[in-house]
Amino acid sequence: MALALLAGCSEPEAPAAGPPLFAPVPPDSSGVTFANVLDEDSTFNIINYLYFYDGGGVAVGDVNGDGLVDLYFTANRRPNRLYLNRGGFTFEDVTEAAGVAGRGTWTKAATMADVNGDGWLDLYVSNVEHGPMHGRNELFLNRGPGDDGLPRFEERAADYGLDVAGLNTQAVFFDYDRDGDLDVYLVRHSVHDVGQIGGVEFRAKHHEAAGDLLLRNDDGRFVDVTEAAGIYSSVLGYGLAAAASDLNRDGCPDLYVSNDFHENDYLYLNNCDGTFRETIYTATGHTSLASMGSDAADINNDLRPDVIVTDMLPFREDIRRTAVSEEGYDVYRIKLNRGYHHQFTRNTLLINLGQGHFIDLAFYAGVAATDWSWAALLADLDLDAYNDLFVTNGVYRRPNDLDYLRFVVQPQVQAALRNEVIPPAVLDSVLAWMPSVPLPNAAFHNRGDLTFAERAAAWGLGTPGFSNGAAYADLDNDGDLDLVVNNLNAPATIYRNRAREHTGRHYLTVVLEGEPPNRFGIGAKVIVRHGGTAQLREQFPTRGWASSVDPRLHVGLGDDATVDTLTVVWPDGRFQTLTGLAADRTLTLRQADASDAYPYPPQAPTNPLFADVTDEVALDFVHHENAFIDFTREPLMP
């Protein structure tokens, strides 16, 4: 066990010569002074809302058509902010003129998507409606720049059927039925007592506020097709994130949904007929336990999307020894007996083996332990043609600390906490017992052999703090991906990437012009071949934690100055291939230029090596496990 835990902590590489890859841009220089300052009081705090310290998100994209990526930050209890990119890493706050501050009293996430198909990126904001939190989801339609050049937005969620109330976490826009317009999957969390482990039969019971929703776009009006499409929408689901990707390479977008606590993660494979089948039991041997942020991208350049999910396994030994993390074996067995999948406290890196099967290599890869982590973003940060990993980190107060738990279970404390308004002195004592430990974000360099090297400090990303939502984008159009991070109780951070000037490596930026109404080509995939390497990019901007990334696709090319072939497969299955492309530029691809149907690989082997002959040999044997639990007598048994 000790060896396994050590293996989950990647060894840092020797520091690279020269300055770090990233440099923070100070707020007084960038003009981005946004900070998600969290006000906690005796009526609303971590005691009566478990996700109080989950932070906000960031959505990025060009909202005014000037070719520069703009920034939108969500604040939990304060107004959201929109910043226009004025070039040179300077930004202007245009929130009031644009009309996008929002009305929610608790805001979680934001997504940029062209919801009405007019070619302008709109803003969809996820708000929570529960207890003291009031606010339905908001849709800010982008009406384009006014006479002053500033973008104007109009809130129209009710008109589109998107003013959803409940425990909303995030929204994923994608065309699941491939009819040409954008549908949306709404991730939502629950509020039931996590100390009670209900059976999996509760998955069949819809919950109005907590259950995830799938809304189909019917001529501009979003209608609920959750049950008809085979999507779970129950009180069991503690949905915190969802990643869209064509995981089985059949041309239809699938979903990986991260669920906190004892409910399984969901892996929905698209049946390509308007329905999904949930496959987590057969897709992988286990998942993370407290699944949080996620991303889907190809890390080993085999053209299959892999999946990363964050959890809460500490990398520091002192925190690991003073906090509750893994469940006891008895609880684990109870969950299995009640129908749940195998779940363990660790990040999971699910390598796609094809045919709907995955294997977790997080410990082998060195990315299993990053502590209380939120966003996971897979992107080529150093332009070497392999996707690296960036993870945001830190919880403002740690409610799983052993000393805090020993204090809070005292009868007199429990009695005080049951009050609708917690006495201020009691709340102060409770919060004082929760440690507040700033932690650095994690950044892992992909070595290209299914292992990663921890590079946060060497890359200039190792400043301790409490970070939540994050997004990547080329903010200065120089060919490398910069990072934008939403921090809790601290100013947001913008990291300038200097990979181009430090390494001289090459890149290609791809802009997709889809046919209306899916003008940004959501669901398209780009396959780039260069110098014996093949890379895959998929156009699904919602990624990580409560955030969405730049809809322009970015490909690092290493030392190759030429792309041998580039194939774009559009959401409707048509494709086009270009050859002999020069690197270090922005390439615009148009769906109107595509023609033939892309030849997807068969979903089942045409000539399998093995055949199931069990019925032919009349084998009548079922193994029954001995009920004796060895761990009860020998808890340290390996």
**Banded model confidence at residue 4, pLDDT cuts 50, 70, 90:** very low
Question: Over 90: is that where the pLDDT of 9 sits?
Answer: no
Say what the pLDDT of residue 6 is.
47
Say what the pLDDT of residue 193 is.
65
Q: Report yes or no on 27 lying in a domain.
A: yes
Q: Which residue's structure tokens are 């840092």?
A: 12
State the SS3 of 434-463: CCCCCEECEEEEECCCCCEEECCCCCCCCC
SS3 468: strand
Q: Report yes or no on 166 lying in a domain.
A: yes
Alpha-helical regions (H) of 273-401: 280-283, 317-321, 329-337, 362-365
Residues 173, 182: contact at Cβ < 8 Å?
A: yes
**Banded model confidence at residue 351, pLDDT cuts 50, 70, 90:** very high
Say what the pLDDT of residue 17 is.
58
Residues 153, 140: contact at Cβ < 8 Å?
A: yes
Q: Report yes or no on 599 lying in a domain.
A: no
Nearest to 520 by CA among 230, 115, 131: 115
Question: To the nearest whole percent, how much of the chain has pLDDT over 90?
Answer: 83
**Banded model confidence at residue 630, pLDDT cuts 50, 70, 90:** confident
Question: Over 80: is that where the pLDDT of 238 sits?
Answer: yes
Question: Over 50: is that where the pLDDT of 5 sits?
Answer: no
Question: Over 50: is that where the pLDDT of 65 sits?
Answer: yes
Our count of domains for the chain comes to 1
Task: Over range 339-365, report the average pLDDT.
Answer: 97
> Minimum mean pLDDT among 74-78, 219-223, 225-229, 417-421: which range?
417-421
Say what the pLDDT of residue 15 is.
54
Separation between Cα atoms, residue 522 and residue 61, nearest integer Å: 14
Q: What is the CATH number for 21?
A: 2.130.10.10
pTM of the model: 0.94
Say which residue, 632 or 88, is predicted with more confidence.
Answer: 88
Separation between Cα atoms, residue 459 and residue 462, nearest integer Å: 8
Q: Report yes or no on 622 lying in a domain.
A: no
Say what the pLDDT of residue 3 is.
46
Full domain range(s) for residue 275: 2-399+434-593
Q: Report yes or no on 612 lying in a domain.
A: no
Question: Over 70: is that where the pLDDT of 12 sits?
Answer: no
* Residue 301, phi then psi, degrees to nearest 5: 55, 40
Question: Over 80: is that where the pLDDT of 585 sits?
Answer: yes
Task: Over range 573-593, report the average pLDDT.
Answer: 98
Tokens for 105, please give them: 């009293």
Task: Over range 57-72, report the average pLDDT.
Answer: 98
Separation between Cα atoms, residue 338 and residue 200, nearest integer Å: 7
Q: Report yes or no on 619 lying in a domain.
A: no
Q: Report yes or no on 297 lying in a domain.
A: yes
Task: Over range 341-355, report the average pLDDT.
Answer: 97
Task: Over range 59-82, report the average pLDDT.
Answer: 98
Nearest to 377 by CA among 290, 471, 292: 471
DSSP E strand stretches across 34-188:
58-61, 70-73, 81-85, 91-93, 107-113, 122-127, 138-145, 151-155, 168-174, 183-188
Q: Report yes or no on 422 lying in a domain.
A: no
Separation between Cα atoms, residue 465 and residue 441, nearest integer Å: 8
**Banded model confidence at residue 1, pLDDT cuts 50, 70, 90:** very low
Q: Which amino acid appears at position 457 of this protein?
A: A
Task: Over range 265-290, report the average pLDDT.
Answer: 98
Residues 466, 542: contact at Cβ < 8 Å?
A: no
Separation between Cα atoms, residue 343 and residue 51, nearest integer Å: 21
Say what the pLDDT of residue 2 is.
45
